[in-house]
Structure 1
Amino acid sequence: MKKRLYITVDTECHDINNQDRYLWGETRDGEHWGLEKILEEGKALKIPINFFVDIAEADRYGLDFVKNVVDLISEYKQPIFLHLHPNFITGDDERSYLWQYNESEQKQILHRAHVIWEELFADKKCVAFRAGRYGTDPKIYSLMRDEFGEGLVDLSYGSPGGKMCHLTKGEIGIDNVCKSYNGVIVFPNTTYVGLVLLGRTHNFGLDAAQTCLEEYKAVLKQNTVKNIILTMHSWNFIKTWFFRKGKVYKDKAALKRFRSMVEYAQKQGYEISSLDEFELISNESDQLVDLCETFSGKVCAFFYNFMRFQRMGRLSPKYFKLFGAFYTFITIVILFVVLLFIF
């Protein structure tokens, strides 16, 4: 049985007045480092990339807006699947998780999304789904089956669930292997133990933006599960700063890391695959890679998480101040030590 890695890209625009931040990434020199850059990379590397398009945005921004996104992806002959932020359909931005709606409302939201899908894709069946913000719960899976048919593949769950996704490991009983659940195939977003702090274990998802390259390599080297996911967003190669709103830049480091991730996976024997090729493996052994099993692993985990949260400093004033204070403190300590030696 082949080892397959599925690259998934949540393709969405949370602010119609700031499209370059989320979708297009047009820089000052006219280059596009958003969706089109990801598509160009897929073409250059000759790999399929699975695009989950938030078609619910059609109800807020218009069908033509979403159709432009779909048409661009289709030009590159890449597969498209269903992503769904329910607030774009309901208009209620205070409820952006599907689990915040009752069963009747969930049914209406899924049906409306299906109608939009059929307007965009005619006779093409919807075979894979991911909820916006991973926000499913146990009751919605039978509704998915009824609306889209038996065997729909859902990519909303990540072990152990609970905070964003309300389908939990206690209910479905898996970490990373795929499992049929109420007529829907749950394909977990690949997770691993990435930090143990104060007695608490923290799982992280395999993510092209947030997972450090060495961390990613360690997970793939230890992994035995045949089907795994590397998640991305349409803005992965776009660099932004919270204090420079409306300005976008090229994130060359993110692009380099992505290329290295693809290359390493292929060297480890993974086939970069389309979800159209997905097959459920019966009775596969589950696994949750633990990068913190050893003392050296715990030390590396602190470094990986330092780098992970440092990158968030570009987007968050809180983390920017935190890391600014840290580096200021380190600079003062170094200067103090230097002065001690001089005098």
Structure 2
Amino acid sequence: MGEAVGGLGVSVRVLMIGAHPDDEDTQLITYLAKGRHIETAYLSLTRGDGGQNLIGNELGPLLGMIRTQELLAARRIDGGRQYFTRAYDFGFSKTAAETFKHWPSDSILRDMISVIRAYRPQVIISVWSGTPRDGHGHHQVSGILSREAFDLAGDTVRYPRSATNGLGAWTPTVFYRSARVFGRGADQPMPGTLPIDVGAYDVLEGRTYAAIAAESRSQHRSQGQGNLAPLEPRLDHVRLEVALPPASSRDSTSLFAGMDTSFARFATLPLPAAARAAVDSLDGARTEIARRLHLADPWAAVVPIAHFLDLAQRAAAGARGCAATGMPVPVCAGAMGDFATTMDEQVRRAKRALLLAAG
């Protein structure tokens, strides 16, 4: 209940990109999704079809099906969402050049841009550096294409709407690369990076985000993943590579430094009067929910949550030109697309909170 209500009013999105199931930084996903109530997703280029199977005889596409379900199970625990491209895991590759011989880069890049335009993240985090130090050629290509997708998602000349299922352009705000450290030194600051305390304790869950992440990681059973949650402090690190506007106008204290993450960023959108009034009332409605909410008596919050839901639905109805037959997500571009996606999220979260409050 507390987690559901905590997500009301949070309107930013993060997309992490890697090559395989188990590449994802589960600790960071958990911290963002559960600790900060931020919409967080992992895009795996492949489904892990080319790996080994430690729990059965299934290989190839059948193993890809198993690892798809393992990823979905992991996201149910850590709170993230899951996306894929059509890249096929053909087994170990030594270099990016070798991987590009097997992967049609333009098709995979189109898939990645389609996900970005549908999900509309403000922040993209690449798990891999895109250099030979990544080792596996798939990892290197993942790092290379992640940056290209960030740069091209807003380019409707190179990738018109028709190439991405009618989805309008979207330009993410910042691009980070993971700078994780494993083992000794994982709890120490790293110069030039943003440290994130992924080992913090969640009072509602009764355990740390690292412990939740360890359970999520353990879902990768076909790869023998999983271990006991670390008890010591845990810092995660990311390194800023691109920021729009440039990083000189930002500080380094938050993934979202310099961004307007409030509903106020929609103040200049041309919305119908009813939708505008609803948007302007959302913050007040959220404050009333916080005032009335008592976890021992969630029923007291039913009326204010229902009011927030009504406002979010009226606001969502004001998104012009965003609905398209057969499309489960808004198709409009730019700020209106951000608005439509955000209001849809608020409606979904408010419905869940209302169901929980009502018992």
Q: TM-score, with normalisation over the residues of structure 2? A: 0.34
TM-score, with length taken from structure 1: 0.35
Q: By percentage of residues, which structure has more strand?
A: 1
